[in-house]
Structure 1
Amino acid sequence: MTITLNGEKRELSPPQSVRSLLELVGLAGKPVVVEHNRNALLPREIDATTVNDGDVIEVVQITAGG
């Protein structure tokens, strides 16, 4: 299946959860905000949300600094 991740097309083998996608791109366990098809996901929704062909995912890593 093909998805768009942060503006770039990516090929994935289905099925994938958003959590497994985060693991694939090295962001598992890091503070992130995830938007799935223009809907912001709550942290508890990341495990339950499935990525489907054609989905658009935006992931922003949260950082702190001064």
Structure 2
Amino acid sequence: MKLQLNGATLDVDVATLDGLLTAQGFGGAKVATAVNGQFVPAPSRADHPLAEGDLIEVLAPMQGG
């Protein structure tokens, strides 16, 4: 399935957002996620299905001001 992760096109074989994060090395990282512009909270990622063409954003928190 083709997806976009942070603007880069990927061809992956995953069914859920959690599966994608694990496959892309974000496993236990503290990140914020959105699919097609909609925030997906961490507890919902394992149940959030992905579909062909989905746009996924993964953002890491930053410190500073």
| Distance across 2 between alignment mates of 1:64 and 1:58 | 19
**Matched AA of 2:59:** V
Q: Which runs of 4+ in 1 moved over 2 A?
A: 62-66
Can you list the C-alpha shifts for 1:22-66, whole angstroms capped at 9, x where unaligned? 111111111000011100011111111011101000001224468
**How many percent of aligned residue pairs carry the same amino acid?**
26
TM-score (norm 2): 0.87
Consecutive unaligned residues of structure 2, counting only runs of 5 or more, are: none
**Structure with the largest fraction of strand:** 1
Consecutive unaligned residues of structure 1, counting only runs of 5 or more, are: none
**Structure with the largest fraction of helix:** 2
Cα distance, 1:6 vs. partner? Answer: 0.3
Aligned length: 65
Measured on the aligned residues, the alpha-carbon RMSD in Å equals 1.5
